[in-house]
Amino acid sequence: MTSTPISAVVAPREPTIFDLSRPGRCAQAQLPPALAADIPAALRRRRRPLLPEVSELQAVRHYTRLSQLNFSIDTHFYPLGSCTMKYNPRGCNQYAMLPEFLGRHPLAPAVQGQGYLACMHELQEMLKEVTGMQGVSLTPMAGAQGEFAGVAMIRAYHHARGDFERTEVIVPEAAHGTNPATATMCGMKVIEIPCNADGDCDIEALRKVVGPRTAGIMLTNPSTLGVFERHIAELRALVHDAGGLLYYDGANLNAILGKVRPGDMGFDVIHMNLHKTFSTPHGGGGPGAGAVGVAARLLPYLPIPVVGREGDKYRYLEERDLPQSIGRLSGFMGNAGVLLRAYIYMRMIGREGMQRIGEYATLNANYLQARFRQEGFELAYPSRRATHEFILTMKHSARDLGVTAMDFAKRLLDFGYHAPTTYFPLLVPECLLIEPTETEAKEALDGFVGAMVAIKKEAAVDAARLKGAPHTLPVRRLDDVRAAKQLDLIWKPAA
């Protein structure tokens, strides 16, 4: 008797929605009445767009099945460093999606939005409190746009003082890619400075580049190296003395909530990733929310709208209220629904919770770091405490066995763990940036260490299995080079 291979009958990968489409099929219950619109012939579309023609069931089944192909917080431990993949409380979603909130038009009069605006105003106040800043604008739609707002405010500040020479932004080499990209978008020149062997900024290098052209410095703290920058006082003095301002990339705020406040430390501006620290959903790539907080001297430049309060009435502060504002960064006021989720989360966490988050995120990271040390893994900064995250380097395994950080990452998927961030920050070779977050239980951390240990053993005896990983996912390792060379970016009907 011959045996058909089992893999041949594993449910096939899901076809595209276009493969499921048949001319003339449609989800009738979703059609509004057929009314004839009168459009001048020259402006009329000639051929219907090629959109899927499927039944409602087909659409539901298709996207349900596709969703099952994902790893996510709700299904897997997801220690993606720098991304703070913590539990997204379902209550935040439920209450942000109350019909009144969903149905409110952004330009509806303020009287029809006092409930919503009250939440936004309180959110601004809470963010001021946790950062120690003097003013907050909620409008930036993600971290990168928050950075943009920050650098644009720095620029506006200098310009307002008649200082047009400050065209340089200093960025430590460990910075997230958005920092230099943002500086460029703001028309600034990026000046990189190195970090030292312990992960702190190289103060001597900073001293060399700082000067009258310095608009400011963008500092991520805890840095992307997973350590707390210990020279903030020197750094601040150097930059402020030179007339530059200090930008705080607060994407890693989770680690320091309630422990230090950027405002107290003398920073002039900060952006926060509400989708990280304040646990709004990551949605397969977004949305985010990148609220900015500023010190007093940058208040006039905050992006609009900002929510103002007069007595017990709330309204947007706009052009006439903030004439020096850097302006508008979105069509309305940013990712309102994300802000609602952050607001709900912060209220549920409350004062004490806000303090605990950083503590337990730090505990989890340090515990994992300690466990990895015990198991003989190599830490990028062995002399340092972990913050909310830390870095392993696989450089020895890469050199000795040809098994790279990428191979570990892919093999982890087979064990049911999402991989840490790989090859970031760029300056640590073969690195894995691991951020467990405070919402994971000890057992999940132990399981993860167990998987890494098993993979390390496997690397010694069966490197090929790692290089071929993953083996148990809907696809095996994908050919990225082919993807970039033979671009196939949209579905086309078979010729």
Partner 1 sequence: MAFIPHTADDVREMLDTIGVASIEQLFDEIPAALRAGPLTGIPAALSEMQIGRLMSERAARDGRPLNFIGAGAYEHHIPAAVWAITTRGEIYTAYTPYQAEASQGTLQTIYEYQTMIANLTAMEVSNASLYDGASGLAEACLMAVRANRRSKAARILMPRAVNPTYRKCVEAIASNQGLIFEEVPFDPATGQTALDALARFEGEDITAIVIQQPNFFGVLEDVDSLTEWGHAHGALVIAAVNPTSLALLKPPGEWGAKGVDIAVGEGQPLGVPLCSGGPYFGFMATRMEHVRQMPGRIVGRTLDLDGRPGFTLTLQAREQHIRRGKATSNICTNQGLLMTAATIYLAIVGPEGLERVASASMVRTTELASAVSTIPGVHAAFSAPHFHEVLLRLDRPVGPVLDELAAQGIAGGYDASRDYPELGPVLLVCATETKTCDDIETYAKALAAALGAPRAT
Ligand X SMILES: Cc1ncc(COP(=O)(O)O)c(C=O)c1O
User: Contact positions toward ligand X, by CB under 6 A?
Assistant: 82, 142-144, 176, 178, 220, 224, 249, 251-252, 273, 288, 290
- Give the residue carrying structure tokens 């991989």: 419
Triad 420, 423, 429: Cα angle to 5°: 120
Interaction partner, residue 38 (its own copies, partner 1, ligand X, none; CB < 5-8 Å by kind):
partner 1
Among 2, 4, 10, 32, binds partner 1 (CB under 8 A): 32
Partner interacting with residue 2 (select from ligand X, partner 1, its own copies, none; CB below 5-8 Å by kind):
its own copies
Neighbouring CB atoms inside 10 A of 353's CB total 14
Q: How far apart are CA 380 and CA 365, in angstroms?
A: 14
DSSP-based three-state secondary structure for 67: helix
How many whole angstroms separate alpha carbon 117 and alpha carbon 374? 51
Name which of partner 1, its own copies, ligand X, none residue 317 binds, using a CB cut-off of 5 to 8 Å depending on partner kind: none
Binders of partner 1 among residues 384 to 423 (CB under 8 A) are 384-385, 409-410, 413, 418-419, 421-422
Lookup result for tokens 């089992």 = 6
Please tell me the distance from the alpha carbon of residue 266 to that of residue 132, in angstroms, as a whole number. Answer: 9
Distance, in Å, from the CA atom of 255 to the CA atom of 387, rounded to the nearest integer, reads 6
Closer residue to ligand X in complex, CB, 289/322:
289
The residues with which 246 forms a beta bridge, in sequence order, are 217
Q: Determine the interface stretch with partner 1 among 100-108, 160-168, 204-212, 242-250 (rule: CB under 8 A).
A: 100-108
Give how far Cα 430 sits from Cα of 39, 236, 405, 462, Å. Answer: 59, 32, 5, 19
Please give the residue ranges that form the binding site for its own copies (CB under 8 A).
1-4, 6, 9-12, 20, 22, 25, 29, 55-58, 60-61, 64-65, 68, 73-76, 87, 89-91, 98-99, 348, 414-416, 439-441, 443, 458, 461-465, 471-472
Closest CA to 171 of 153, 138, 147, 152: 147
Which one of its own copies, ligand X, partner 1, none interacts with residue 495, CB within 5 to 8 A by kind?
none
**Residue 49 interacts with partner 1 (CB under 8 A): yes or no:** yes
Q: Does 275 bind partner 1 (CB under 8 A)?
A: yes
- Whether residue 298 contacts residue 168, with contact meaning beta carbons closer than 8 Å, is answered with no
Q: Which is nearer to its own copies, 426 or 454 (CB)?
A: 454
Cβ 225 vs Cβ 236: under 8 Å? no
> Residue 224 binds what, of ligand X, its own copies, partner 1, none (CB under 5 to 8 Å, by partner type)?
ligand X
Q: If contact means CB under 5 to 8 A according to the sort of partner, which of ligand X, partner 1, its own copies, none does residue 102 touch? A: partner 1
Q: Binding partner of residue 249 among partner 1, its own copies, ligand X, none, CB under 5 to 8 Å per kind? A: ligand X
